[in-house]
Chains A and B, each alone.
Chain A
Amino acid sequence: MTTMAGFAPQIPFSYPAPVEREIAQLAALFAQTPALAVYPARWLAIQVLEGDEALLAEIEAHGGSAVVAALNDSLERLRAVYGDELDIVMVDQRYRFVHEVATRAVTRPATPPATLSDRIDRIVTHRWFGIPIFLAVMWVVFKLTTDVAAPFVDWLDSVVSGPLSRGVSALLGMVGAGGGWFESLLIDGVIAGVGGVLAFVPVLLSLYFALALLEDSGYMARAAFVMDRVMRLFGLHGKSFLPMIVGFGCSVPAIYATRTLDSRRDRILTGLLVPFMSCSARLPVYVLIAMIFFPAYAGQVIFGLYLTGIVVAVGVGALARRTLFGRQPPTPFVLELPPYRLPTLRHIWRQMWERTAAFVRKAGTVILATSVVVWLLLAIPARGDGQFAATPVDQSAFATLAHAVAPVFAPLGFGNWESSGALVTGLIAKEVVVGTLTQVYVGEDAVAEPAAPPSLGEDVVAIVTGFGAAIGDALRALPGIIGINLSAVEAEPVADELATAIQAGLAASSNGHATAAALALLVFVLLYTPCVATLAASRHEFGLRWMLTSLLGQFAIAWLAALIVFQGGCMIGM
């Protein structure tokens, strides 16, 4: 930076003489006004001459009558010279300066040739091809996060529930702490809860890989341009699309991303709609339920859920802007589009890593705390004659609590206490639903372990070969993204104890319409009140009133939508 000083004075910058005269006068006056001392005087003079409304208001409020009168005189004199174009003249002067510096430093052809970016844009942002291309890109993203990630999910899951749990159990046995409530807390609470969620790290890695690729290549801004027309259906414009797509990753940064919008109306409306964009924490729940109930169509079902979220947001947006926001017009849509760039693997990897690590940290704190609380509730006997940490699940405090909530969900087909309990804990963070379901269903049979557990050596071999098999499965799934299915033989359902337990639970709660209930449950998870972190963010950004609007509104919408899905599903015989 020190070398800059040598260059600066060679091309002096000044506004036209009449403007400079007024700037000097006003700056001198502002410099003597203590109330305005926080601002550099010359900068303040330039801003108010250009018509900065906030600063003008501040001067009128605190500057005193002499300063206000002098300012009005200055504006009057300049208006006589430039009319209403004073601000444009001043900006223009700055651009001239920049242009002059640039022409002295850079040589370039008089007519800039059409760049590669423009040629790509001719197709990618085409009026009619643009939206189909966008949908195709999104389809690839979702195939990537389901089919390609699935083998790794299965592998991690089996490592956590098999060798890891056994290892910890053996370790506790060695130090003499095995068999008691402490082992139960570690294995059924901590490892089952957090581990069940961590098993979805591959899903998140692939989602964040796709998002980073789209951002770094420059496509994300094009998507905002292409989707502007669609966003108008929500009563918003293309710029709101960016927070919305961030919302597919996590609602919390998406709500903070609304800060880039120009008006409060746009910020709040976008903030209300962001939670309907299905965040990555909901994905583990979809994957689990969809793999159990729709093994052959899991990808399509999940894609459908994402679309459902968007459609509901369109409806809510249309409704909200007619009712909550009256006649306030949206602010104009202007957005700079960066040129296309080849993303670097290093940067993509860093983003994948940082975002996934943030999720894992959350899994280590919020989810760990929730898992322990749920384990405690499960351990405390509320009925029957069970003892602490040895009570049957259906007699635990958790069951009592969940039973109390369950009737709310009865018309939706998932009024069993296991599902409703999981949904309640999902308020802490949506991915916890998976952890809780695992705990309440699998925790039951945790005793039913194989008579002769495999040795440490056998475990290590199983982990390594399992990982190799997962890579093979993922590679085979890659061509499936563009519709070529190499692994037609493996239509194997997730046939573990969790799958059977969930299936049986939903079948009972829905009078045999388990599929309809599963679909209703998925829709409910998609739409219901976001996690506490999102609520905290929306309270921080928009205030308590809007947070409560968001909380209650979404619960009501989710309940209604799930009701329609379940009753409709039963009617068509699901």
Chain B
Amino acid sequence: MKQTSHPIPLRFVNHGVRAKLVGIQSSQRISRRLSELGFVPGIELSVVADSGSALMIALGDTRMALEYPLAHALLVTVVEQGAC
């Protein structure tokens, strides 16, 4: 169990690591769209897969494909290192 206080972009979170969303660093239009899809601060998420241009994110029961630039805009703190 490791708690990082420093937020990092979701893009750099490894497979299977649980992370908590702390903020969205993007234009208002994109932040709004992402929050409507369930990317709201405080929610836990993890990376399921990486296609080479986009990440598949587990967000509760939802699985969401997000392109790299968006994964850069989502700032998270790591909650728990996964098994992978």
Interface residues of A (CB under 8 A from B): 50-51, 53, 84, 87-88, 91-92, 95, 111-112, 117-118, 121-122, 125-127, 130, 221, 224-226, 228-229, 232, 237-238, 332-339
Contact = CB atoms under 8 A, between A and B. Distances in A.
A225 B35 CA distance: 21
Interface of B: 18, 24, 28-38, 40-43, 48-54, 56, 58, 60-67, 69-70
A334 B63 contact: no
B54 A333 contact: yes
Where chain B touches its partner, the secondary structure class is mixed
A229 B53 CA distance: 5
A91 B21 CA distance: 15
A455 B39 CA distance: 72
What are the 4 closest A-B residue pairs judged by CB atoms, nearest first? A333-B67, A229-B53, A91-B35, A337-B63
Contacts of B33: 334
B68 to A, nearest CB: 9
A237 B61 CA distance: 24
B69 A335 contact: no
B49 A88 contact: no
B51 A130 contact: yes
Contact of B32 (A50, A127, A335, A337): A50
Given A92-B42, A336-B63, 5 more contacts: A91-B35, A125-B48, A125-B51, A332-B70, A333-B65
B52 A92 contact: no
A84 B65 contact: no
Given A88-B41, A91-B40, A118-B58, A337 B65 contact: yes
A225 B56 contact: yes
A397 B67 CA distance: 57
A145 to B, nearest CB: 27
A244 B53 CA distance: 19
Contacts of A127: 49-52
Contact of B30 (A125, A126, A226, A332): A332
A229 B48 contact: no
Nearest to A262: B33
Given A92-B40, A228-B53, A229-B53, A121 B65 contact: no
Contacts of B60: 112
A242 to B, nearest CB: 12
A84 B24 CA distance: 11
B32 A51 contact: yes
A225 B52 contact: no
14 contacts: A87-B28, A95-B38, A95-B40, A229-B51, A238-B53, A238-B54, A332-B30, A333-B54, A334-B34, A334-B37, A334-B66, A337-B63, A338-B63, A339-B61
A539 to B, nearest CB: 30
A151 to B, nearest CB: 39
